[in-house]
Amino acid sequence: MLPYPRDWVEFQGSPPPRSGKRPYVSVNPRGIIVLNRCAFGMLGEPVAVALLFDFHRFTIGIRPAALIMPNAFPVSQRGNSTYVIQAKSFVDFNYIKPSGTFRFLDPNMENDVLVLDIAHVARTTQTPRLGWRKKKSPPETGSVPS
């Protein structure tokens, strides 16, 4: 018997999704939206998307679009199963300011739009990168000028 009661605190995060079986979508402070193959497939594997924002429900929408449209954001593939949307202008315009990389916990489709609820996110385990640092070169050995 313990002399004091336990003070449990429930972990508020969630486990990462299992491989490609569930959709994974994240956004980072640089405005890069990342989708896994499952989420990209839900959209119909488009070459470009239109980005939507609902101010009242604080949600992002991603809808397939033709690349020739003036508001279309190209989707580029990174690796075998990751797709990237460079959305810095969209994120800045809508005052979305993630302090790190956040993943959306329940991305789902509604009328051909992938809906991402900003109020329902979890921080990824990756720590935010603060920038690349140059490695210091070792001091040169040799004669010292007199």
pTM for the whole thing?
0.74
SS3 37: helix
Instruction: Give 65's strand partners.
Output: 48
Contacts of 72 (CB under 8 A, 6+ apart): 48, 49, 50, 65, 66
Give kind and range of the element (H or E) at residue 95. Answer: none
Supply the pLDDT for residue 137.
56
Supply the pLDDT for residue 125.
63
Contact 31/94 with Cβ under 8 angstroms? no
Supply the pLDDT for residue 4.
75
Least confident interval from 55-69, 91-105, 118-132: 118-132
Supply the pLDDT for residue 142.
57
- Beta strands 32-36 and 59-65 are unpaired
Statement: residue 128 has pLDDT above 60: no
User: Tell me, what amino acid is at 127?
Assistant: T
Supply the pLDDT for residue 22.
87
> 53 pLDDT band (50/70/90 cuts)?
very high
Q: What is the mean pLDDT of the chain?
A: 84
Query: What sign does the dihedral 109-114-119-121 (CA atoms) show?
Result: positive
